[in-house]
A and B are shown apart, each in its own frame.
Chain A
Amino acid sequence: MFFLSAYDIDTQGLTKSFGDLKAVDGITLQVGKGECYGVLGPNGAGKTTTIKMIHGAVRRDGGRLNVLGMDGTSHSREIRERMGLVPQEDTLDNELTVYDNLWVFANYFGISRRQSRPRIEELLDFVQLRDKWDSQIKTLSGGMKRRLLIARALIHKPQLLVLDEPTTGLDPQARHLVWQRLRELRRQGLTILMTTHYMEEAAQLCDRIGVMDGGRFLVEGAPRDLVRERVGEEVLELRGVEKEEVSGALDGLAIDAEQAGDTLYLYCTNGAPVMERLMAAGKRDFLRRPATLEDLFLRLTGRELRE
């Protein structure tokens, strides 16, 4: 079952259905050693199901799933011994203190209380919770809980860290602290797989991203390259303008136009000539900005609400 692979996560044709719903529809996902990979996608895209298959909480219907060179089903326990999981939901032990949470979790891995002590101190320093070691979980803020979940996932020095929406619901300060810590872990050579709703997060942290929708990957690549290839360099946003009003003025320029509600989006490689034409046509109320992952995301997955 063991074989050498350049990838810490290696799936091919991975599928999972719940009743009639194809939650994951034959995905191929390969995350290299030491790489940080981000899975983006709207709610219900299949991100969490994919993560649950990787750590064995959901059994796959079909396809290949290799994690850390081992089969995801037959070696689920061995995989979990070497990977850390930061779940989307708070699964901290509410009836235990911060310190007891960590040592009880270390004990799940067979690490003795004495062995775990220095590691726990190191981790509490790392996530800046040292002074909270004796606190009850219910007294912690959302950001502290998330940091504690990260510390808990690292207790056994895993080789692979999987995070499901690590900063959802956090305030900007807490989010930036989590980002710093994740960048530090990346520097230390940890392989990271994360899902997120935040484009900035993916752009800041990930070497590669994949955009998922309807159980499939739509595109995959380095965030910057993807934006350049699929969206362009710059975006001009015009409020209260219909596409037809400017189509004459923009004739002959290589741009993509998209109407969404009251706003017209113009995606282009160079914004300067477009801007000149707009000014000439008397349209002065616009915003010129660099293209972002968010543009890519919305172009790929559409603008209708997902609940």
Chain B
Amino acid sequence: MIRRDLIPTHRALRVWVRHLIQYRSFYLAEWAGNFGEHFLYLLAFGYGLGRLVPSLNGLSYAQFIGPGLVVSIAMWTSSYESTFGAYSRMRIQKTYEAMLSAPLSVGDIVLGDLLWCATRALIGSILMMIVLMIFGLIGSFWAVAVLPIIFLEGLMFGSLGLIAAGLAPNFSFFSFHFSVVVMPMFFFAGTFFPLKGLPPWMQAFSEMLPLTHAVRIVRGLIIYGHADSFVWHLSILAGCTIVFMMAACAAVSRRLVD
């Protein structure tokens, strides 16, 4: 039987509010930094490196890579928040301990953290999309439909990060999480180069990465305003997210309740 305290309730929003209050003190500096970073990324890869890349199905390299960057920024932001951020709240600042002495449960804390990871992923991606807009790389009004997809992606990587935070004996454990979980998806999910034409084993590997499916939906929506096999990709994303969320609850509970 599933323990009652692992099932999240609406109280998760109270955890989310705490994170938001804390965010108030540094968001402006972060937004400015992120914006500049995104700008440089697009210039260097899209236009610098892009000069060497032939047209891909009629798309310039900047057009191709823009949506890929939107998706990877969401992944990185959510992964940082759920590993280093959550670990520090769990083990160093004892923020979770305080929450558990109030009427919040492990499930509320996990869901609250995940909502927050997804919120930050969303903010990072929106900033990137603004940069894309400035460069004229958004092809359709339907690009706004990527926002819920990005939020879902944020929940998914937040869950993976919380699993790592629950298992981690110290901060250095996270370099393992980033090299085994985050980096392979960063490089092989079709973000920087098309998967078509890769050796079959590499294509098969890429198909197994949940990020690949996010990239396909987001690229389709941003450039053309629609995505092929939308329901299929979305089901994979949602399915992975639910499974990872349950694992995250179990991993965090292991750390918080004796």
Residues of A within 8 A of B (CB): 18, 52, 55-59, 74, 76-78, 80-81, 85, 87, 89-96, 100, 104-105, 107-110, 153
- Least Cβ–Cβ distance between B204 and chain A, in angstroms: 44
Total residue contacts A-B, CB cutoff 8 A: 72
B236 touches A (CB below 8 Å): no
Q: How far is the CA of A105 from the CA of B98 in the complex (A)?
A: 8
User: Which residues of chain B are near A87, meaning CB under 8 Å?
Assistant: 97-98, 101
Q: Are B21 and A91 in contact (CB under 8 A)?
A: no
Q: Are B94 and A91 in contact (CB under 8 A)?
A: yes
Cβ contacts A to B, 19 pairs, < 8 Å: A18-B258, A57-B101, A57-B257, A74-B4, A77-B5, A77-B103, A80-B102, A80-B103, A91-B94, A91-B101, A93-B22, A93-B93, A94-B93, A95-B25, A108-B14, A108-B103, A108-B104, A109-B102, A109-B103
Contact with A along B102-142 (1 / 0, CB 8 A): 11110000000000000000000000000000000000000
Q: Knowing that A104-B18, A109-B103 are A-B contacts, what are 16 other residue pairs whose CB atoms are under 8 Å apart, sorted by A's residue number?
A: A57-B101, A57-B258, A58-B257, A58-B258, A76-B5, A81-B103, A87-B97, A89-B94, A89-B97, A96-B21, A107-B14, A107-B17, A108-B14, A108-B99, A108-B103, A108-B104
Known: A95-B25, A104-B17. A80 touches B101 (CB 8 A): yes
Q: How far is the CA of A52 from the CA of B21 in the complex (A)?
A: 28
Q: How far is the CA of A100 from the CA of B95 in the complex (A)?
A: 14
Q: Are B258 and A104 in contact (CB under 8 A)?
A: no
User: Which residues of chain B are near A52, meaning CB under 8 Å?
Assistant: 258
Q: How far is the CA of A109 from the CA of B101 in the complex (A)?
A: 10
B177 touches A (CB below 8 Å): no
Q: Which residue of A lies closest to B256 (CB)?
A: A57
B226 touches A (CB below 8 Å): no
User: Which residues of chain A are near B104, meaning CB under 8 Å?
Assistant: 108
Contact with A along B78-96 (1 / 0, CB 8 A): 0000000000000001110
Q: Which residue of B lies closest to A152 (CB)?
A: B98
User: Among the listed B21, B93, B102, B103, which residue makes an inter-chain contact with A100, where contact means beta carbons less than 8 Å apart?
Assistant: B21
Q: How far is the CA of A56 from the CA of B93 in the complex (A)?
A: 20
User: Which residues of chain A are near B14, meaning CB under 8 Å?
Assistant: 107-108, 110
Q: Which residue of A lies closest to B104 (CB)?
A: A108
B246 touches A (CB below 8 Å): no
B100 touches A (CB below 8 Å): yes
Q: How far is the CA of A92 from the CA of B99 in the complex (A)?
A: 10
User: Which residues of chain A are near B98, meaning CB under 8 Å?
Assistant: 87, 91-93, 105
